[in-house]
Structure 1
Amino acid sequence: MTYFRLFTVIATVIGSLCATGTQAANYSFIQQHPAPTDTIKPEQNIRTISDEELALLVEHIPNEPNDVIQDRLSCIESEIPLEFNSTVRAHIDYFTIRNRKYTRTMLSRENVYFPLFEKYLEKHNMPQDLKYLAIVESGLNPKAASWAKAVGLWQFIPVTGKEYGLEQNQYIDERMDPEKSTDAAMRFLKRLYKTYGDWELAMAAYNCGPGNVNKAIRKAGGGKKTFWQIYPYLPRETRNYIPSMTAVIYSMNYAADHNIFSDSILYTPEVVYLELNKEVDLEKLAEELHLSPQQLMALNPEIKQTRIPEHLLNYRIRIPAQTANMVANVTDKECILLAAAPVKLPEPEITPEPTKATVLLASAKSDTTVKPEQEESVSSEKVIYTVRRGDNLSSIAQSHNIALEDLKEWNNLKGSSIMAGQKLSIIKPAQKTDTELIAVNNEASEPAKANIAKPAPEKKKKQDLIYHVQPGDTLWTISQKHNGLTVEQIKKINKLKSNAIQPGQKLILG
């Protein structure tokens, strides 16, 4: 369509509206063919159509038939059911027709957060498509906040955030920490999946709580236990939640087929952690690192103020990797930061998923015979902990390096309420004494000793040396983060013929 034809159509429509005396239509769109001045009344509103508005007017917006949408959904390999119906279609139209700008924004942000989500989904052995849930929850905005006081990428409310070990005070709110909140969300979703055995119901419970899902299941009756079977009995917001999830998965996978492309692609900057040993003024720290305060705060969205107080000793903040060498040069005492340059990005200090503890619990509850290969994991000891004033389940779990879910299960706790003086059972792996280790070695033959001593440490060593390539990584930057390793060694170990690597690629660094 040429500008002249477009103008003719618009002018015709405006003329017909003006003829009926409709004041709302008193606009003249002027591009290259302005209307004669004698035809414009003084009371008319005149504005020039922008190039962006013109582009939107001529943008091709596909409107695919239902059978095409349904066929595309069926082609997406996912452990999450992707059912197609009129409700799902309405949500797909929202993301591909009515709010295409939102989908463009998600395409530009996905490379910032998806690699992080994928890492933790792999760690917890969960479906990779659950990463799209953060789009439904927060639009990939780590500082998103709702009317219900839910905050962060995964929209934790205060009580659930505390239950999963996310610190909240006047200085920090770890619900906005991308890494810690992601690990907490994965543990929460995994727990819900164990309850329902269905990812759609697990996500519904994540949205409205297990109590509302259980109530809907009871009202549905007759053994109906899928999302669409209990759909009419769920809260209104939750009825839209799963269709939105399905629509987001579809829209992100088939954006190009709907002529939706991102104007710019964002990536996660390479960062290192800086551990603070005294009170620090983040504005002064930013100045010393040649950053703006906004840049430093953007890397640390969980920090609510520009000051980290002294009582938060050893708190870790993110700084750009390229500024790490400046840390040793900081001499201003008022800045007060740890004079030790970090060299690599460590894992966050969060409670890991205690797979061994689950095995220990199972063995403690049953009389089944333990297989020889399980004997080392099953060896355990039971500790009785007396609750002290000021304790909560999260702090107790963290201090004993166990999962909150296991602590509650071991003690048959349904909620998070505990009382001072209450006795809690904690199951931990038993530590073998030197005498026990000598006895094992004496009973084993020489070949057996070699087999016993080596496999477990070797397996752990290999696991520790797997590196996931991040956006912006090169073989040289990876080698710099692992002392004593050269680019040629990395290439030789991984049988690489060139220096080309891709985000998400796994490299063996040993």
Structure 2
Amino acid sequence: MIRKWFLLGIMFISLVGRGQEFQLTEVIPDYTYDEVADRMSCIENEVPLVFNERVMAFVDYFAIKDREYTEDIVRKKELYFPIFSETLAKHNMPEELKYLAIVESGLRPNAISRANAVGLWQFISSTGKMYGLHSNWYVDDRMDPYEATDAAARHLRDLYNMFDSWELALAAYNCGPGNVRKAIRRSGYKREFWEIYRYLPRETRSYVPQFVAITYLFNHLEEHGFDPRAEHFYPEMDTIMISQYFHVETFCNQVGLCLDDMLLWNPQIKRGALPEGTKNFALNIPVEWKEEIVANRVSLYDTASKVGKEHLDYLARNTPGSTYGRERLYYRVRSGDVLGTIAQQYGVRVSDIRSWNGIRGNLIRVGQRLSIWVLPTYNSSNKSLYTASTPPTPKTSAPLAGGSVYTVKSGDSLWSISRNNNTSIEKLKQANRLTTNTIKPGQSLVIPN
């Protein structure tokens, strides 16, 4: 059989005499439906891998149409697959479930969806908390590859026990068990994924076929022209324990490690620091560096505890929507209430109340219970404080993982600050989570690099 080849990439043409010489940057082997079906039937698996035209369409997509995406996953797999395999084995789960993280996040630990699902395994806040994943302004456990993978394995096990089917467990992981039960009822109580397929949400109808296609492709990378060895070099890792405020960039500068690498190895650290009160945080470091770091631990930790603390703490407590360092109260909406009067009563911002309660507009209902997070400075007789009494004034701009801190002066505007610091207004607003261009003297702003 003569094999055809799809040609990708830029074709460089040079004329040599009367002929033409073609230099091809990449070739993709052709394949047939029957070949893919035959290969898939040979994969050792516990999760059913049903092959059909829907799955074939996703094989074509990942093998040809979005090939760069697949190549990126191949390069990153050696960083995360060992974690997935070890965790799934610990929970006696099918190893092929590791491919689900590709469908969920593209192996991006800091991925955030439109529904605010976060991390490699895309946990929303409520489900994450059910499985012990917590988050604050500084750290988000959902971005921790180890913690999130363990939580995902337990969640998938619970869903499997609920439906006694790995395909339905995968569907429920995507759309929730309630939607799967609804599809089962509407199908006449069928119990197979492809029997309830048309009753599931549209996204879920693509979700399981994508998982099957990815599982097939990563078992046959070479047959589709991918180099399974095309990976980044990742050092062997160990951990050191941190139980204090800890400025990561300062630590990296002292020991000679790259900050970007450190944040890659510890993606759950969102703001380049660990907050005061941290207990037994396992910081991932290259194993070859551990001996030297442990030998100089007292000095290294002491220096890392003295940079940026006040400024970050101020930002943590006063970033719109933040709950860090605040106490939660509940308010029951009464007739005549509007968000503005409730915000004034508790010394918070309207935007805070919207964020804390998932409110998009200004509509609230009588009897609705609202979460209100107040600062320790709040009391019923002083309702005007929505920020710490006075922002700390730095002697110098302390370096942060995302840049430096600037204290707003009288006459400043976002435009003047952006020009003086070689950045843009949009980047300033994004770094500080500003929704308007309003700033005031004494306010601390993060200046992005």
TM-score normalised over the length of structure 2: 0.62
Name the residue aligned to 1:292.
258
Aligned length: 295
User: For residues 149 and 172 of structure 1, what CA distance do their matches in structure 2 show?
Assistant: 15
Name the residue aligned to 2:43.
76
1:173 aligns with 2:140: yes
- Asked whether the 8 Å contact 2:242–2:280 carries over to 1, the reply is yes
Name the residue aligned to 1:55.
25
1:91 aligns with 2:58: yes
Name the residue aligned to 1:318.
284
Name the residue aligned to 1:335.
304
Name the residue aligned to 2:243.
277
Secondary structure of the 2:285 match is strand
Among residues 175, 180, 188, which one is paired with 1:213 in the alignment?
180
Among residues 275, 278, 293, which one is paired with 1:309 in the alignment?
275
Aligned AA for 1:193?
Answer: Y
- Asked whether the 8 Å contact 1:120–1:183 carries over to 2, the reply is yes
Deviation (angstroms), 1:323: 1.3
Secondary structure of the 2:303 match is coil
Secondary structure of the 1:55 match is strand
Q: Deviations over 1:309-352 (max 9, x none)?
A: 22223322112111112222253532249xxxxxxxxxxxxxxx
Name the residue aligned to 1:117.
84
Q: Residues 190-229 of structure 1: matches in 2 within 5 Å?
A: 190-221=157-188, 223-229=189-195
Secondary structure of the 1:92 match is helix
Deviation (angstroms), 1:263: 6.9
Deviation (angstroms), 1:32: 2.0
User: For residues 76 and 12 of structure 2, what CA distance do their matches in structure 1 show?
Assistant: 36
Name the residue aligned to 1:32.
14
Name the residue aligned to 1:432.
none
1:107 aligns with 2:74: yes
Deviation (angstroms), 1:296: 1.4
Aligned AA for 1:124?
Answer: H
User: For residues 199 and 90 of structure 1, what CA distance do their matches in structure 2 show?
Assistant: 22
1:264 aligns with 2:230: yes
Secondary structure of the 1:153 match is coil
Name the residue aligned to 1:246.
212
TM-score normalised over the length of structure 1: 0.54
Name the residue aligned to 2:380.
none
- Asked whether the 8 Å contact 1:100–1:260 carries over to 2, the reply is no
User: For residues 315 and 82 of structure 1, what CA distance do their matches in structure 2 show?
Assistant: 39
- Asked whether the 8 Å contact 2:29–2:223 carries over to 1, the reply is no
Deviation (angstroms), 1:262: 4.8
User: For residues 108 and 241 of structure 1, what CA distance do their matches in structure 2 show?
Assistant: 23
1:183 aligns with 2:183: no
Secondary structure of the 2:70 match is helix
User: For residues 282 and 55 of structure 1, what CA distance do their matches in structure 2 show?
Assistant: 41
Task: Note the residue ranges of structure 2 that are not aligned, 5 or more in a row.
Answer: 1-10, 17-21, 307-326, 329-449
1:156 aligns with 2:138: no
Name the residue aligned to 2:368.
none
Aligned AA for 1:239?
Answer: R
User: For residues 315 and 104 of structure 1, what CA distance do their matches in structure 2 show?
Assistant: 33
Aligned AA for 1:114?
Answer: F
Deviation (angstroms), 1:30: 7.3
User: For residues 12 and 63 of structure 2, what CA distance do their matches in structure 1 show?
Assistant: 29
User: For residues 139 and 190 of structure 2, what CA distance do their matches in structure 1 show?
Assistant: 43
Secondary structure of the 1:264 match is coil
Q: Deviations over 1:105-129 (max 9, x none)?
A: 2222222111111111111111111
Secondary structure of the 1:334 match is helix
Secondary structure of the 1:32 match is strand
Secondary structure of the 1:319 match is strand
User: For residues 117 and 171 of structure 1, what CA distance do their matches in structure 2 show?
Assistant: 25
Deviation (angstroms), 1:218: 0.6
Between Structure 1 and Structure 2, the one with more helix by share is 1
- Asked whether the 8 Å contact 1:103–1:251 carries over to 2, the reply is no
From the superposition, tell whether residues 307 and 260 of structure 1 become closer, same or farther in structure 2 (CA, over 3 Å): closer
Say what the alpha-carbon RMSD is for the aligned residues: 2.7
User: For residues 30 and 181 of structure 1, what CA distance do their matches in structure 2 show?
Assistant: 46
Query: Computing the radius of gyration over CA atoms, which structure comes out larger, 1 or 2?
Result: 1
Q: Residues 468-483 of structure 1: matches in 2 within 5 Å?
A: none
Percent of aligned pairs with the same amino acid: 44
Aligned AA for 1:334?
Answer: T
- Asked whether the 8 Å contact 1:275–1:315 carries over to 2, the reply is yes
Deviation (angstroms), 1:90: 0.8
Secondary structure of the 2:59 match is helix
Q: Residues 478-497 of structure 1: matches in 2 within 5 Å?
A: none
Which structure 1 residue ranges, 4+ long, deviate > 4 Å from structure 2?
Answer: none
Task: Note the residue ranges of structure 1 that are not aligned, 5 or more in a row.
Answer: 1-28, 35-49, 338-388, 391-510
